[in-house]
Amino acid sequence: MTQLRIRSAAACRYDAISLGEVMLRFDPGEGRIRTARSFNVWEGGGEYNVARGLSRTFGQRTAVATALVDNELGRLTENLILGGGVDTALINWLDFDGVGRTARNALNFTERGFGLRGAMGVSDRGHSAASQLTPDSFDWDHLFGEIGVRWLHTGGIFAGLSDTTAATAIAAMTAARRHGTIVSVDLNFRPSLFTGAGDEARATRVFTALAEHADVLIGGATDFTDRLGIAEPDGAPADRLDLLAARVVEKFAGVSLVASTVRRVRSASVNDWSARALGRDGQKVLSRAFDDLEIMDRVGGGDGFVSGLVYGLLQGKPLAEALEFGVAHGALAMTTPGDNSMASLAEVAAQVSGTGSHVQR
């Protein structure tokens, strides 16, 4: 058991909401950004992608709490969000000044990578609308109390955008837990968001605060050691990640579950992919390993994992089964272009049961 007491669906309007920035992702396909003459456009964002996966693949009632500038790019982003089945009622709309001096909609140019050429992202998100969100941008008590939300997901990308977004994340998490909403955080450290003088210390403060207000933490070994100050185990034990996760649970009394994806990069096109989780009660589970997984677009695979894991937990599935839904959905997300999976629940379930690669006739 994971010791998570999840609110009933009947008592809540939303099964899950994500708090984070939604960007327009410009995808040059198999080519390079520097030589592109056309792009496919997707919507994406580390936190948002979880809500979208929960909605489109898993049929959950979701929304995204974010901000956009009210211009054509903002409305394009909204249209894509709606296409993902995510409610837009929690979007804060900022006036457009005609140029973007005061606020902009965030853009992200990402190459998929191939073979020995790795994926590469170039973000254009300075003074974006979402980065200007503050703790009082939303009525959190009304949202989590009267409207009702079963699960809140946010992460280190949103919290790293600005000092106010870090404070906004903490305010949302505090209110959510006050009303019995489960809170998950993907530590998801992005060095580009912490590049100024003193930003290393700021990153540690921000990520520690996130962990202090989370029920479920998603991260890797370097997130735990470098961002949360968890001491490395002696030597180089094979169960290093499990030992670090146990120390995370010991340090942060509110954390009930720690989950991690494990990726071995053989090339940009072939990875080994699996996941593991540790509950506060000491339960340790390992997922099926997708060895030599052929990848079309790795961006969003981790977010796909989180949405599958959250789905399983919302459905009351055992932790081991929920983890399998996470790793299977993350794997499928990496077989199609864009941040988000194009998989159906039936396809995810087929992978969980080990029958998903057969020809469907």
Residue-averaged pLDDT of the chain: 95
In-domain check, residue 360 = no
Is the per-residue pLDDT at 236 higher than 90?
no
Q: What pLDDT is stored for residue 354 in this prediction?
A: 84
The residues, any chain, with a CB within 8 Å of residue 256's CB and separated by 6 or more, are 2, 3, 4, 215, 216, 279, 280
In-domain check, residue 105 = yes
| Residue 197: band (very low, low, confident or very high) from pLDDT cuts 50, 70, 90 | low
The pLDDT of 304-319, averaged and rounded, is 98
In-domain check, residue 210 = yes
Q: How far apart are CA 77 and CA 105, in angstroms?
A: 9
Q: For the stretch 41-55, what's the b/e string if a residue is b when 16 or more beta carbons lie within 10 angstroms of its beta carbon?
A: ebbbbbbbbbbbbbb
The pLDDT of 16-33, averaged and rounded, is 98
Count the residues in the chain: 361
Q: Do 285 and 323 contact (CB within 8 A), yes or no?
A: yes
Q: Tell me whether residue 262 is exposed, middle or buried, using C-beta atoms within 10 angstroms of its C-beta: 0 to 12, 13 to 18, 19 or more.
A: middle
The pLDDT of 294-315, averaged and rounded, is 97
In-domain check, residue 358 = no
Is the per-residue pLDDT at 1 higher than 60?
no
Q: Which of 286, 264, 265 is nearest to 275 (CA)?
A: 286
| Residue 238: band (very low, low, confident or very high) from pLDDT cuts 50, 70, 90 | confident
Query: What are the pLDDT digits (tens) for 55-72?
Result: 999 999 999 999 999 999
In-domain check, residue 101 = yes
β-pairing, 16-19 vs 23-27, is unpaired
In-domain check, residue 226 = yes
Backbone dihedral region for residue 274 (phi beyond 0: left; psi -120 to 50: alpha; all else: beta): beta
Higher pLDDT, 187 or 358: 187
The pLDDT of 94-113, averaged and rounded, is 96
Indicate the number of domains in the chain.
1
β-pairing, 257-267 vs 270-279, is antiparallel
Is the per-residue pLDDT at 191 higher than 50?
yes
The pLDDT of 136-146, averaged and rounded, is 98
In-domain check, residue 239 = yes
DSSP string computed for 12-51: -SBSEEEES--EEEEE-TTS-GGG-S--EEEEE-TTHHHH
Is the per-residue pLDDT at 242 higher than 70?
yes
Query: What are the pLDDT digits (tens) for 145-157?
Result: 999 999 999 999 9
Is the per-residue pLDDT at 360 higher than 60?
no
| Residue 91: band (very low, low, confident or very high) from pLDDT cuts 50, 70, 90 | very high
In-domain check, residue 1 = no
Helix or strand run (H / E) with residue 248: helix 240-251
Q: Do 185 and 309 contact (CB within 8 A), yes or no?
A: no
Q: What pLDDT is stored for residue 118 in this prediction?
A: 93
Domain housing 249: 9-352
Q: What pLDDT is stored for residue 200 in this prediction?
A: 83
Is the per-residue pLDDT at 227 higher than 70?
yes
E strands present in 212-337? 216-218, 257-267, 270-279, 284-286, 290-294
Q: Which of 176, 74, 184 is nearest to 129 (CA)?
A: 74
Q: What pLDDT is stored for residue 355 in this prediction?
A: 67
Is the per-residue pLDDT at 356 higher than 90?
no
CATH number, domain of 109, equals 3.40.1190.20
Q: Above pLDDT 90, what percent of the chain?
A: 92
The pLDDT of 317-346, averaged and rounded, is 97
